[in-house]
Amino acid sequence: MSELKYPDDRRYHAEHLWAKQAADGSWVIGITDFAQDQLGEVIFIDLPEAGAHFKQGISCAEIESAKVVSPAIVPLSGAVVEVNAALNDTPELVNSDPYGQGWLIRIKADDPNEATITAAQYKAQVEA
Amino acid sequence: MSITLYTAPNCLRCKIVKEFLAKRGQGYTAYDFKEDKDIFNNYYRANRSSIYRNPEGVEFPIFDDGNVIKQGTGEILAYLLSGRVLESCVTRSELLHGWISGLNVSACPAGQEENFSTLIRVLAKGGLTVQLRSDGRRSDLLKTILDEGTVSRMVLDIVAPSRLYPTVAGGPIDLEDLNRSISLTRSHADHLIRIVVSAYAGEGGAMTRITPAEAGEAAQMVLDACGNRMLPVFVEAAQNAGLEPLEGQALLPYRSKVRNVLVKAEIRKPEAH
């Protein structure tokens, strides 16, 4: 099995999501390589509507594989600006490219300084 | 009407349904959720609100004939044998890992005995470990099925005192019939007799629980039927949606009322599967 990756160009949350700032200042959010590996092949994602607001630590979406239904816990509080519509037809992008095309939502963060963890801290947590 | 099955690799429950269809000469198309993932994923997305997931994920096989979506090997075979007629006695299995439950001999409608027996036989011969349930009624059919030797565990549930049986179980209970069911159950190597604290739709439709006094009445009915105060029974609360779970201390008044009659009564916790 190839080793799971945790790029350090973004921030992480203990509940297996990452947040990366986009050029316009908004934050793109997705699940980690570890999370997609645990889920197995994703077959459906119940995404929120644009405009919805979520607090850090709250689930913004349900990710379904044949094995499990898992909540997607947002790493930063904020309002949804855009959801990844490509996931409606190709939810497996979450498996094949969790840090790229498999992103879930883009949010406008309430407070960009909200506490998160680094790639190294997240890696230490999942490999503990 | 064409039949489609969605299956998982190495799935015994899927194999049983496929073999049953083949034996009856009924054609079907089967898709494996891994090998044919695009087809399965499209189907899943279009029908996910109708698809049941057990604690370990989507329950396979999924059966779809264009009219209904069915899951659960027992329920699918019951539907193939007699449409919706067996739905009262074949319900979702709470057991996983090679076991199957949800088979209530007492609720078998008149005229369906042959189909119900066939169902149990096919499940057992297919490799599943069968848990059969009775509420004390239909000891005739219980005997026929137990004589075949295909039942691995026998559970007898006393679900209410006699006067509430029609409401809670769906039909009246006869003491002779109950006595025979008790004997048959006890003659099975792996068996369990429970006084169940049932919940049912009472007056006005609101969910109501059997009271400790009513559990005591149910125990008295058992004693009247079998004459054995030492009969080992367990007091267990039925798990019901919409009512607070009944556990621990809350079951003690039930146990004392039952123990006044059947002295070996013990509290039993619902099994975690």
Contacts of A41 (CB under 8 A, 6+ apart): A65, A66, A92, A95, B34, B37
Q: Are residues B114 and B183 in the same domain?
A: no
Classify each residue of B246-269 as buried b or exposed e, where b means 16 or more C-beta atoms within 10 Å of its C-beta: beeeebeebbebbbebbeebeebe
**B156 and B116, same structural domain?**
no
User: Considering only A103-117, B48-62, B123-137, which range has the smallest mean pLDDT?
Assistant: B48-62
Helix (H, G, I), strand (E, B) or coil at A109: strand
B262 within domain boundaries: yes
Helix, strand, or coil (residue B88)? helix
Quote the percentage of chain B above a pLDDT of 70.
98
Count of structural domains within chain A? 1
* CA dist list (Å): B169 to B156, B163, B176, B198: 13, 11, 17, 10
Res. A74 pLDDT band, cuts 50 70 90: very high
Whether B146 is in a domain gets the answer: no
Q: How distant is the Cα of B81 from the closest Cα of chain A, in angstroms? A: 28
Does position B126 have pLDDT exceeding 80, yes or no? yes
Please check whether residue A4 lies inside any domain of the structure. Answer: no
Q: What is the mean pLDDT of chain A?
A: 93
- Quote the CA–CA distance of B208 and B193 in Å, as a whole number: 23
Q: A36 in a domain, yes or no?
A: yes
Does some domain include residue A49? yes
The stretches of chain A forming alpha helices (DSSP H) are 33-39, 86-89, 93-96, 119-127
Residue B197: domain span: 152-273
Q: In this structure, are B4 and B122 located in the same domain?
A: yes
Let me know whether B12 and B109 are in one domain.
yes
Cα–Cα distance between A83 and A76 in angstroms, integer?
Answer: 15
Report if residue A25 sits inside a domain: yes
pLDDT at B13 over 70: yes
**Shortest Cα–Cα distance, A64 to chain B (Å):** 9
Do B119 and B243 share a domain, yes or no? no
Residues B122 and B190 in one domain: no
Residue A47 backbone dihedrals phi, psi, to 5 degrees: -90, 155
Ranges of beta strands (E only) in B74-171 are 99-104, 129-134, 153-158
Are residues A67 and B56, on separate chains, in Cβ contact within 8 Å?
Answer: yes
Residue B165 C-beta-side C-alpha neighbours within 13 Å: 21
- Give A113: exposed, middle or buried? Use CB within 10 Å, 0-12, 13-18, 19+: exposed
CATH code, domain carrying B21 = 3.40.30.10
At B189-210, the pLDDT tens digits run: 999 999 999 999 887 888 889 9
Is B147 contained in some domain? no
Among the three residues B129, B162, B193, which one is the final residue of a domain in this structure? B129
Q: Does residue A83 form part of some domain?
A: yes
- CB pair distance less than 8 Å for A67 and B44: no
With CB atoms and an 8 Å threshold, state whether B40 touches A65: no
Q: Compare CB distances from B58 to A66, A91, A92 and report the shortest one's residue.
A: A66
Q: How far apart are CA B169 and CA B181, in angstroms?
A: 15
Question: The domain containing residue A67 runs over which residues?
Answer: 11-111
Mark whether B222 and B271 lie in a shared domain. Answer: yes
Chain B residues contacting A via beta carbons under 8 Å: 8, 33-34, 37, 40-41, 44-45, 48, 53, 56-58
* Tokens matching residue B60: 């396979």
Does the pLDDT of residue B249 top 50, yes or no? yes
Q: Which residue has the higher pLDDT, B94 or A56?
A: A56
Same domain, B122 and B159: no
Domain count, chain B: 2
Q: Residue A76 is part of a domain; what is its CATH number?
A: 2.40.50.100
**pTM, entire model:** 0.82
Q: Is A3 part of a structural domain of the chain?
A: no
Asked casually if ipTM beats, i.e. exceeds, 0.85, the reply is no
